[in-house]
Amino acid sequence: MGTMTIKVAINGYGTIGKRVADAVDAQDDMEIVGVTKTRPAFGCDLAVRKGYPIYCTFDDESRIKAFADAGYTCHGGLSDLLKVADIVVDCSPGKVGASNKATYVEAGVKWIFQGGEKHEMTGNSYTSSANHVQNLNVQGTRVVSCNTTGLSRTLVPLYEHCGELSVECTMIRRAADPGDSSKGPINAIKPVLKVPSHHGPDVMTVKPEIKINSMAVAVPTTIMHVHVITATLPEGHGLTTESILEMWASHPRLIIMNGAETGITTTAEVMEFSRDIGRKWGDLHEIFVWEDGVKLEGNTLYYFQAIHQESDVIPENVDAIRALMGVEEDWRVSVNKTDSAISKYNNL
Ligand SMILES: NC(=O)c1ccc[n+]([C@@H]2O[C@H](COP(=O)([O-])OP(=O)(O)OC[C@H]3O[C@@H](n4cnc5c(N)ncnc54)[C@H](OP(=O)(O)O)[C@@H]3O)[C@@H](O)[C@H]2O)c1
């Protein structure tokens, strides 16, 4: 590959797609060659402002022409976009991506799906710290969901220290994203009646050695998920509450803060903190762990963590691009490169 710039297409310019586009655009080894919209509506103006070429999600002429009729320059359909791309990041709605896979195979591009798709569809899944190496040079992968990414951030370093880990957790899930007006509940707590929920077992698609189960409830909030985690460590783990906190503090994309000292005791303050430090869209790519909510009692570790659902997977997509294109073998080097480029578009 040498110093070639990786040409990245974004198929689906919504909540995740627009964020991945900006994170890719910030890197010096990749560029956005185009983003797709299904129709000339909300989102096209943002792409124009960012200077990303707009393509139509579909190839038929009448749908492409509708963009020009609405005053947007549309460079063609998805097939035209794939001709100028090395890799496509599919950010279409959950379960829709599966129908796009044949198109990517036919176009001969590499592909990355998101957590709304099934592991079986790609045969590979990805988080930066768990299995970057296993994804080197593969044709396609899936960046796991926001919840699975969050679990992986704290559990993988623990597993790597202990060599064995058994976990039970409860996902307290946001009902909808802030920009989503069609989901709920708005005044109820909704248990996920598929037990265990898919979130925990999904961690095993990136780190099969971790034994993990989860249950989930959706609550009327839009801003974050909270995980309530109980992990059983093996005998002779040699860890203390303090050493676990130190381990996490030295791990990328984790923020540890003391709730009592900072006054950041709820997800509302975590998000306010993120806005205060000038993060674009108020995003928080890091997983937030409350220091005073972590306790190791014998072999049992208890902790809470908060996940910014719209953004923790964004830098992981950038690292996944490097893995698939085979340009960086060391996940830590990729993570540092990704995060330092992204930090330039965050203000403070
Ligand atoms: N939102 C989260 O919190 C979150 C977190 C982690 C992972 N994910 C996963 O990321 C993926 C995208 O979710 P999202 O929240 O970004 O969804 P979203 O906000 O609904 O955005 C999806 C975008 O894809 C476009 N689209 C519709 N049909 C398409 C098709 N056939 N091909 C390509 N694009 C199509 C949509 O249409 P328009 O062009 O009409 O706008 C929209 O812009 C899902 O797999 C989801 O599970 C989401």
Residues in a beta bridge with 111: 88, 140
Query: Does residue 116 register a pLDDT over 70?
Result: yes
| Greater pLDDT, 292 or 98 | 292
Among 15, 45, 121, say which to mutate for ligand 1: greatest number of ligand atoms within 8 Å of CB: 15
Average pLDDT, the chain: 96
Residue nearest to ligand 1 atom 15, measured at CA = 15
The Cα–Cα gap between 61 and 21 comes to 26
The CB-based long-range contact list for 341-345 (8 Å cut-off, 24+ gap) reads 341/23, 341/26, 341/27, 341/28, 342/23, 342/26, 342/285, 342/314, 342/315, 342/318, 344/26, 345/22, 345/26, 345/280
Residue 317 has pLDDT above 80, yes or no: yes
Task: Give residue-wise pLDDT tens across range 118-167.
Answer: 999 999 999 999 999 999 999 999 999 999 999 999 999 999 999 999 99
- Provide, rounded to the nearest whole percent, the portion of the chain with pLDDT above 90: 95
Q: How confident is the model over 243-267, as pLDDT tens digits? A: 999 999 999 999 999 999 999 999 9
For 283-305, what is the mean pLDDT?
98
| pLDDT confidence band for 346 (50 / 70 / 90) | confident
Q: How many angstroms does the Cα of residue 209 sit away from the middle of ligand 1?
A: 31
What residue ranges define each of the domains in the chain, with the CATH number in brackets?
6-144+313-343 (3.40.50.720), 146-307 (3.30.360.10)
In this structure, what token pair is assigned to residue 193? 């009646």
3-state secondary structure 314-327: HHHHHHHHHHHHCC
Nearest C-alpha to atom 10 of ligand 1 is from which residue? 114
Asked whether residue 79 carries a pLDDT value surpassing 80, the answer given is: yes
pLDDT in the model for residue 98? 87
Whether residue 347 is predicted with pLDDT greater than 90 in this model: the reply is: no
Q: Residue 42: pLDDT above 90?
A: no
pLDDT score, position 76: 98
When pLDDT is averaged across residues 301-314 and rounded to a whole number, the result is: 98
pLDDT value at residue 1: 46
pLDDT at 97 over 70: yes
CA–centroid distance, residue 232 to ligand 1 (Å): 36
Summarize pLDDT for 212-243 with one digit per residue, the tens.
Answer: 999 999 999 999 999 999 999 999 999 999 99
pLDDT of residue 67: 98
Residues with CB under 6 A from ligand 1: 11-17, 36-39, 43, 57, 91-94, 96, 100, 114-117, 145-146, 177, 309-310, 313
pLDDT at residue 261, rounded to an integer: 98
- Give, for ligand 1, the residue of 91, 101, 119, 127 to mutate: max count of ligand atoms closer than 8 Å to Cβ: 91
Buried/exposed 169-204: b ≥16 CB within 10 Å, e otherwise: bbbbbbbbeeeeeeeeeeeeeeebeeeebbbbebbe
